[in-house]
Structure 1
Amino acid sequence: MILVTGVNGQLGYDVVKELNRRNIECLGIDREELDIADGNAIRKYISELKPECVIHCAAYTAVDRAEDEEEVCAKVNVYGTENIAKACKEADSKMIYISTDYVFDGKGDTPFEVDGKIEPHSVYGKTKYEGELKVKEILDRYFIIRISWVFGINGNNFIKTMLRLGKEKESLNVVCDQIGSPTYTFDLAPLLCDMAISEKYGVYHATNEGFCSWAEFAAEIMKKADLGCNINPIPTSEYPAKAERPLNSRLSKKSITDNGFNLLPSWEDALERYLKEINK
């Protein structure tokens, strides 16, 4: 039995679908069923269920709002994660914790290694890293997976926003100096399921292959969706946001290949399949 938190989010939704596809017994929960900030409720739930693994996809991800809601953000990303880790320890369950590229400082132009220097520049990044520390402190059997630029069928994301705006506007300003890897949850879910049934514990980076800027990503969306909207590349300095965004979100996937897992397809390939899927 595998328990998946955040089933109503983009990633949790696809992880449960993948587990079902493999005929692996699983249960997906969201905050309506169980508040991860309630330590006693979590402990009782997991001790009764005794899952082999908990894939913890639930998170506070409103990056800008987190700057004003640090306590609320920490309640989910730090203490909610701690509650799940403690319950996993008691139930002798493995845990997969989903983290983020925001734990790094976003400087330079080389991909960050899994053991790279941690220096988050936002409340969101800070709380996700504190969540990592809780998992490491409490458990021996854990996976920490840092991901970036996520898109999936279930929920809102950059692609859906670009498609909507691309139909309404002739041109859009999109930042061109933040570089990273878009990640399709449909591609990421099988990797997480492979990890859940393995013993290859540790920290991983998992994204689709290849790097691009948000402006290049947007231009490719317009091209593949056959929309005539023009993308104007602008620097981050011209697009002020409350939370600082990493300029370099490149993540090294060496840990995946070193441990015999399969790399994800290219982000361009993922985008093409995603557009076909949402047009069905």
Structure 2
Amino acid sequence: MDKTYASAAWAVADIPDGASLAVGGFGLSGVPIVLIRALLAQGTGGLEVVSNNCGVDGWGLGELLAAGRIRRVIASYIGENKEFARQYLGGEVEVELTPQGTLAERLRAGGVGIPAFYTATGAGTAVSDGGMPIRYAPDGSVAFASEPKELRPFAAFGRTREYVLEQAIRTDYGLVRAAVGDRHGNLRFEKSTRNFNPLAGMAGRITIAEVDELVEPGELDPDDIHLPGIYVDRVVQLTHEQATELPIEKVTVRPRPAASDTAAPAGEDR
């Protein structure tokens, strides 16, 4: 039952070229950066990645992308990563764009054994009608585009409307980052890191978790477990330095108000 691995390199050592990965995180929040860098170091390539986005330039999945290790991405967002946009528009990487909520449900459905589901999101748009560019040709034309999806009317919630059939996502591996994990693989995520991490962990046939803190089984209260150990196969404890490497995606500041040399009137605070 002890699922701990001594290093990230050992935990990802069997991930082969061409594997599919469900990766947790949103921008820079909750990204399994140590596992990603272990994959980068061992030279694994030709990867198909399922994640909300592909990191940012120079960090997260952006490191694998910049090294040319990713061949296909299923995501809901391209922004904040100029290299991702460049590779997509230049025909170097395939991209399947899907609405964010749909992506979350596709991962969850894969984790619980539901092969497909209907949703109103995207019905009657390019999501269902097809034609969204999957890969561009070097000359800027569309090399191939998304296929139409099945539509079906349902009478629900007081009205009849069309719903689009979406396929569940099941990947070879799931990579996640948790605040606390125990040796049985039970995980707790901190605040906004509980974004796509539980879903990515559910969708992977083999799920690897890097954790800031490792505790013994029984120390996590059952109500504090966000992803049960049944979904997690390997646990890697991060060092203090690894756990505290938390860059800020955007720094927004405002000028300080100019200090006044005029004393505040009597009876008033400055």
Higher helix share: 1
TM-score (norm 2): 0.31
